[in-house]
C-alpha cells in the first residue's frame, strides 16, 4: 500500500481547516501544506482540485475571478476538478435558501463543456472524503504523487528555478527536482525524458523543452512603465 499524499495550499489552513484535519484523522491521508499559489489541492501528478463555496460559485460578481482561476489551472494541469461546497452555517444562523439563477446554470454548462469535473459537497468533511476518493482513483491510474514533498539544501534553489518556468505546476516542479540529478541534465533532456521524469503530458513536456531552448531576445522584453 503506497503512502497517500495530498498537497494542500497554505491558505487552506485558514479557509478549510476541517478538510485538512478530516483528511488526516479520518481518512489517514498524508497532507503536505505547501505554497501552491494558484490552486487549493493537488491530489496526483495531473489533477488539481479547486474548492469553492456555493455562495462564491453562484454569485455572478465572482465570474471573472472564477474564469481566471480555472483557466490558470487548465494551463497548469491535465485535469481540473471543482468542488462546490455548501456554505457553513454559523451557530444561531439559519441556512439561507439557495436561489438557483441563470448565471449558475450557464456556468455549470460552460464548465462541463470545457471538461472541468464538478463535484458537489455539503460540508468540509464531505469535501475531505471526495478528495480522498479522487486521490485513490488517481492512485489506481498510477498517477499518484510519489516523490517526497520536502526539499532541502541546494534543491530548494532548483525548485524555485523550475517553478519559474511558465505553466509548470508545483508537483511537476517537485518531480523535476527529484528525478533529475542536476538542472543541467534536465535542460539537456529530450521531450520524452522530460515527460517521463516530470510526470507530465507530452504536450506539457514539449512546452518545457521549448522554453529551455528558447532564444532570449532583449528587445522582446516587456517594458514596465
Partner 1 sequence: MLNPTTPVRAGASAVPYGHAIGSEKWRGTELAHLLQGKIRLLFEDGLGLVDFHIANRTCILYISEADIVAGNAFKRRLVQFRKACNLKGIVIVEKTRLSDQYLPPVQTFVVLELGMVLLPVANKSEAAQLLINLVLERSKERTSNPFIGKKSCQFSSTNILSTVQTIPGVGKVTALQLLQHFPSIHQLANASHSQLEAVVGHGTASNVHAFFTRT
Nearest distance, CB of residue 13 and partner 1, angstroms? 25
Query: Closest CB to partner 1 among 1 and 154?
Result: 154
Considering the complex, state which of residue 136 and residue 146 has its C-beta at the smaller distance from partner 1: 136
Tell me the closest approach of the beta carbon of residue 220 to partner 1, in angstroms. Answer: 4
Residue 13 vs 110, nearer CB to partner 1: 110
Dist CA 27 CA 19 (whole Å): 11
Question: Minimum distance between the CB of residue 14 and partner 1, rounded to whole angstroms?
Answer: 26
C-alpha dihedral over 176, 48, 23, 195, to 10 degrees? -30
How far CA 97 is from CA of 32, 55, 100, 107, 109, in Å, comes to 36, 11, 9, 20, 22
Q: How far is the CB of 112 from partner 1 (least distance, A)?
A: 5
**What's the closest the beta carbon of residue 174 comes to partner 1, in angstroms?**
14
Q: Which is nearer to partner 1, 25 or 109 (CB)?
A: 109
Site residues (CB under 8 A) for partner 1? 67, 70-71, 74-75, 100, 102, 105-106, 108-114, 116-120, 122, 126, 129-130, 133-134, 137, 154-155, 157-158, 160-161, 163-167, 182-184, 187-188, 211-218, 220-222
* Nearest residue (CB) to partner 1, 14 versus 213: 213
Q: For residues 215 and 90, what is the distance between their CA atoms, to the nearest angstrom?
A: 56
Report how far apart, in Å, the C-alpha atoms of 85 and of each of 17, 88, 133, 147 are: 14, 9, 16, 30
Cα 70-38-176 angle, rounded to 5 deg = 110
What is the rounded CA–CA span in Å between residue 64 and residue 95? Answer: 27
Amino acid at each position: 500500500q503506497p503512502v497517500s499524499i495530498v498537497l494542500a495550499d497554505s491558505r487552506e489552513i485558514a479557509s478549510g481547516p476541517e478538510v485538512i484535519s478530516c483528511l488526516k484523522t479520518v481518512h489517514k491521508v498524508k497532507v503536505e501544506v505547501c505554497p501552491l499559489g494558484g490552486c487549493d489541492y493537488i491530489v496526483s501528478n495531473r489533477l488539481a482540485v479547486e474548492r469553492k463555496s456555493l455562495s462564491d460559485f453562484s454569485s455572478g460578481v465572482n465570474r471573472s475571478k472564477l474564469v481566471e482561476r480555472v483557466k490558470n489551472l487548465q494551463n497548469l494541469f491535465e485535469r481540473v476538478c471543482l468542488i462546490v461546497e455548501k456554505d457553513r452555517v454559523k451557530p444561531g444562523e439559519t441556512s439561507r435558501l439557495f436561489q438557483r439563477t441563470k448565471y449558475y446554470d450557464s456556468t455549470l454548462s460552460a464548465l462541463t463543456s470545457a471538461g472541468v469535473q464538478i463535484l458537489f459537497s455539503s460540508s468540509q468533511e464531505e469535501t475531505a472524503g471526495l478528495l480522498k476518493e479522487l486521490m485513490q482513483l488517481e492512485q489506481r491510474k498510477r498517477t499518484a504523487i510519489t516523490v517526497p514533498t520536502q526539499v532541502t539544501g541546494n534543491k530548494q534553489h532548483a525548485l524555485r528555478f523550475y517553478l519559474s518556468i511558465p505553466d509548470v505546476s508545483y508537483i511537476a516542479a517537485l518531480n523535476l527536482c527529484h528525478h533529475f540529478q542536476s538542472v543541467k541534465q534536465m535542460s539537456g533532456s529530450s521531450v520524452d525524458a522530460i515527460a517521463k521524469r516530470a510526470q507530465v503530458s507530452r504536450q506539457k513536456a514539449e512546452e518545457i523543452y521549448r522554453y529551455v531552448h528558447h532564444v532570449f531576445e532583449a528587445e522582446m522584453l516587456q517594458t514596465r512603465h
